[in-house]
Structure formats: C-alpha cells, structure tokens
C-alpha cells in the first residue's frame, strides 16, 4: 500500500528517466490490498513485506531460507527479478502462526526496516496489510514516506477499508498517490464475455468522491493467480501481454506522481532560523 523512499534524495535521483529499460513486478497481496503494481526504470528497488501476520512475498518472489547477517549485524535481503526483498516470512516456518501483540509487531517492523542492509535504494516499497492498525502506524511514523498507493476491489465492503486507509494517511500527512481498482472485470477465456463480479466502477467513484487520482483498473485473471503462486510474476514471465501492460500503465502513473511530489517539495520556501 505504500511506496516510500528511505531517503528523499533517492527518489529525486530516479526522476526524469529517459530511454530506460523497464523492470516490472506484480505483487499480489491479501484482502482489500489485492495487488500492488511496481515499476522501476533502472532504479534500485527494495521490497519490504510489512504484512507481519500473513507474509506472502517469499512465495510470490520464489525466495526461501534464512537471511544471512552482515559484519555490522544487519540482515542481508534476498533478491529476485532485480528487487531486494525482506519479509518476516524468511524468519518463521511456513505454517507457523504469528500471534503477536502490538509492541512485538512494531519491534519486528523496526528490525525489518533499519535492521536490514538494504544498500543504496532509489525506492523502498512497503507491501502493507489492509486496515489502520499497528503496522500502518509504525511504518508511517518510523519512515519518511513519499506517498501511499491505495488498492481495492470495486465492491463497497472493500472500499470501506480503502477509504479508512486513505483518511489515515492523510491524517498523518502522507500524500496519496492514487487509487487502483483490482479485480475490476473477469473476461471469459472461452467466449470473451465480460463479467463484473465485484461490481463496476466502485473505485473510480470513490476516487472522485475523495479527490484522489484514479490510476487504472487491473482485471481478474487466472494467469495472475497462477504466476504469483509459481513465484514468477506475470509482468516478468509475460511482459507483452495485456495484463502486464495494465500494470505498467498504473506504475508509470505512480512514478510520474512521485516526480510531481518531489518537485513540489523542491519548490517550497525554506525557513531559516
């Protein structure tokens, strides 16, 4: 749900890119946070799986095992598809339940951010669980966030969480990058008929009502589920397909919005005392 940077100047370095190779990665999450599209244009990218209770990044990125520790006692992130990854899923058994209260969650997130040897990053993407609980507040207060990307299916039940999430980030003064509608439409693979299983246009209406940018629609497709389960995201395994193009389109808008926000910060007057 978040697309922040570890240091502001790193995001500035990633702007105005020209003639660059695009590396795209689809990340499939849980509940209202069904998917988070990423795109990097020759950027150094880190991915933090902040869904402590239901980590899914190890499976979706096909990364397993325990992270090694550097000389300064920081965990070394795993890497696949050119993205450095860290998740609580690397530290616990696959089927082990994580029964933690708030303080333990906050401590774990602190170790997964500042206790990791991320190296030089242009963008650190934080895959968040839905809701407005300890994980979201810990990340919002512990990192300098460039913005929040809200992702929701179009039905009213999911959009309730999306609205709450957007209002929480606004309350803590984190810019909203926009709203993405996931599972917008199912197209029958046999006859091509479109079915709007979760309703139609709910995310677009919500974006208009809450004065957020609507960044696009991602369809409900079997290939998204299959490639995510295999740990070979569709934007990497089939970059020319229509689904990948939809993710790339959304991600380009996110990168563009980050550029706009960075320029706004540059142009703000500085008060010297």
At residue 270 the predicted structure's pLDDT band, cuts being 50, 70 and 90, is low
Q: Which residue has the higher pLDDT, 255 or 117?
A: 117
Q: What is the pLDDT of residue 143?
A: 76
Q: Which of 160, 92, 91 lies closest to 132, judged by CA?
A: 160
Contact 189, 222 (CB under 8 A): yes
* Distance, CA of 110 to CA of 142 (rounded, Å): 8
Contact 8, 151 (CB under 8 A): no
**What secondary structure letter does DSSP report for 14?**
T
At residue 33 the predicted structure's pLDDT band, cuts being 50, 70 and 90, is very low
Burial of 99: CB neighbours in 10 Å, binned 0-12, 13-18, 19+: exposed
* Distance, CA of 28 to CA of 222 (rounded, Å): 13
Q: Which residue has the higher pLDDT, 238 or 41?
A: 238
3-state secondary structure of 26: strand
Q: What is the pLDDT of residue 267?
A: 77
Distances (CA, A) of 7 to 97, 106, 122, 151, 180: 34, 21, 8, 24, 25
Percentage of the residues of the chain whose pLDDT score is greater than 70: 83
> What does the pLDDT look like over 183-227, one tens digit per residue?
999 988 888 889 999 999 999 999 999 999 999 999 998 998 898
Average pLDDT over residues 238-250: 85
Token look-up 């963008």 returns: 123
Helix, strand and coil content of the chain, in percent to the nearest 5, comes to 35, 25, 40
> What does the pLDDT look like over 42-101, one tens digit per residue?
667 788 888 888 788 898 889 999 999 999 999 999 998 888 899 988 988 777 777 777
At residue 268 the predicted structure's pLDDT band, cuts being 50, 70 and 90, is confident
* DSSP letter for each residue of 79-129: EETTEEEEEGGGTS-TT------HHHHHHHHHHHHHTB---S-SEEEEEPP
**What secondary structure letter does DSSP report for 76?**
P
* Distance, CA of 104 to CA of 14 (rounded, Å): 34
Q: What is the pLDDT of residue 204?
A: 95
* 255: CB partners within 8 A, 6+ apart: 14, 39, 41
Q: What is the pLDDT of residue 198?
A: 93
Q: What is the signed CA dihedral for 59, 147, 164, 139, rounded to 10 degrees?
A: 60
CA atoms within 13 A on the CB side of 89: 23
Q: Does 181 have pLDDT greater than 90?
A: yes
3-state secondary structure of 211: coil
Distances (CA, A) of 188 to 70, 209, 219, 229: 50, 31, 11, 21
Q: Does 18 have pLDDT greater than 80?
A: no
Q: Which of 12-21, 30-39, 67-76, 125-134 has the highest mean pLDDT?
A: 67-76
Q: Does 4 have pLDDT greater than 50?
A: no
Distances (CA, A) of 48 to 138, 151, 223, 240, 260: 13, 17, 24, 27, 24
């Amino acid at each position: 749900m978040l697309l922040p940077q570890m240091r502001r100047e790193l995001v500035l370095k990633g702007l105005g890119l020209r003639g660059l190779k695009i590396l795209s990665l689809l990340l499939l999450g849980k509940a209202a946070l069904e998917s988070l599209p990423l795109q990097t244009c020759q950027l150094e990218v880190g991915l933090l799986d902040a869904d402590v209770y239901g980590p899914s990044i190890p499976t979706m990125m096909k990364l397993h095992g325990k992270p090694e520790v550097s000389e300064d006692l920081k965990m070394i992130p795993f890497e696949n598809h050119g993205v450095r990854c860290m998740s609580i899923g690397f530290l616990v058994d696959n089927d082990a339940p994580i029964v933690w209260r708030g303080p333990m969650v906050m401590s774990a997130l602190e170790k997964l951010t500042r206790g990791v040897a991320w190296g030089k990053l242009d963008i650190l993407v934080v895959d968040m669980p839905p809701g407005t609980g300890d994980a979201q507040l810990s990340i919002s207060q512990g990192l300098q966030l460039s913005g929040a990307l809200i992702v929701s299916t179009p039905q009213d039940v999911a959009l309730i969480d999306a609205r709450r999430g957007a209002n929480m980030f606004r309350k803590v003064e984190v810019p909203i990058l926009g709203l993405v509608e996931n599972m917008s439409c199912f197209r029958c693979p046999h006859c091509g008929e479109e079915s709007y299983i979760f309703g139609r246009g709910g995310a677009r209406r919500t974006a208009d009502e809450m004065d957020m940018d609507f960044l696009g629609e991602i369809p409900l497709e079997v290939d998204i589920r299959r490639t995510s389960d295999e740990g070979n995201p569709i934007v990497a395994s089939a970059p020319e397909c229509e689904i990948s193009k939809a993710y790339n389109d959304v991600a380009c808008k996110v990168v563009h919005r980050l550029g706009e926000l960075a320029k706004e910060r540059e142009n703000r007057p500085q008060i010297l005392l």
